[in-house]
Amino acid sequence: MNAKPQSNMLLWLTILAVGSTAVVIYQFMGSEGFGISSAKCAALATRQMSPAEQWLAVLCAFVVKPVYMLLSLVWIVWLWRRTEPDLTALRRGLIAFWLGENACTVNYLRFGGHSDFWEFLHNYGMVVGFAFIIWAVLEAVDSRIIKLSAPKERCAVLSLCKHCIKYESTPCKLQQVFKMLIPATMVIAAMPFCTGIKVVAYEANVLGSIENYALMVSSQWFEKYYCPTLAIVFLCAAWGVMVFKKNDPVPLAKTLFASALGPLGFGFMRLFLSAAFSDNLLWYVAWEELTELLFIVAVGYVLWIFRHSLVGKTLPDEA
């Protein structure tokens, strides 16, 4: 199996599929058919924030976000010359994530956080980044730990399966589990369709500055309707590959599965945040920023503790 073309395919599948929504979303978001235009989503009320909440808002905007953006850039540079498929995909995912977060910064500093276009670029980068990073994890587990797709290496699950497709004419039990997991994920992907668009917007005083908090309608449409639709399309394709492709279906199905989990993971993260914190959007923003910081720190930590096998001698402290 040559995994690198699969990673390249993931890049183009995700970019084309997600990017094609820009025309659809911004053609119709101005109409009232979607409830209320994001451009017209003005503050509905003024809410008081405690001093601790005001300082938390400042901390997330001017400390947490710059820190994880800087760290992600460091990891990108660290991985720049790596050619292994999983590390290449991880680097591309971090690049997409970094660009998306820069779009978020532009949206906040220039448009007060309410530009449909710049928020789309933010979401776009997150979805592409999620997809690449999920593919990198799947590829790393497959090629470095389980050895499922390596035709000449012993699969780590052989002691559990007892019989292996590599040595005899028998179905691969891991492939059977994967084949069941895909439609199960498809059912879960339908969950956001049962939700609706929420119109939440208000103003708050943050250390003397009036800030507007809102759940943007265009973003909700993207997260709750398009992302699960895109995920289901990719999952159907992955299941079809597993069922009908007789010769080595796992690499292509794995790519399609990661392409589905990218938008699905992003959509579910936003769905949880909007459901949990629609009454206090400061915590919506704060937990998104904090989890992104934790994610970037975790990526760097994993790369560091496995640095000798993953990145060889190219270490930050040796540069």
Using one digit for the tens of pLDDT, what is the confidence trace for 214-245? 888 888 988 998 899 989 999 999 999 999 98
Question: CB–CB of 270/245 below 8 Å?
Answer: no
Q: What is the pTM of this model?
A: 0.87
**What confidence tier does 21 reach under pLDDT thresholds 50, 70, 90?**
low
Of all residues in the chain, what percent are helix, strand and coil, respectively (each to 5)? 70, 5, 25
For 245-292, write each residue's pLDDT tens digit: 888 888 889 999 999 999 999 999 999 999 999 889 999 999 999 999
**What confidence tier does 63 reach under pLDDT thresholds 50, 70, 90?**
very high
**Which stretch of DSSP H or E encloses residue 47?**
strand 46-47
Average pLDDT, the chain: 84
Rounded CA separation 319/314 (Å): 7
253 Cβ neighbours under 8 A, 6+ residues apart = 178, 182, 238, 239, 241, 242, 245
**What confidence tier does 37 reach under pLDDT thresholds 50, 70, 90?**
very low
* Token output for 99: 């660009």
Q: Where are the alpha helices (DSSP H) in 249-280?
A: 250-277
Q: Which residue has the higher pLDDT, 159 or 187?
A: 187
Rounded CA separation 306/27 (Å): 47
Per-residue model confidence (pLDDT) at position 310: 81
Q: Is the pLDDT of residue 36 over 60?
A: no
Cross-strand pairs, 214: 201
Q: Is the pLDDT of residue 61 over 50?
A: yes
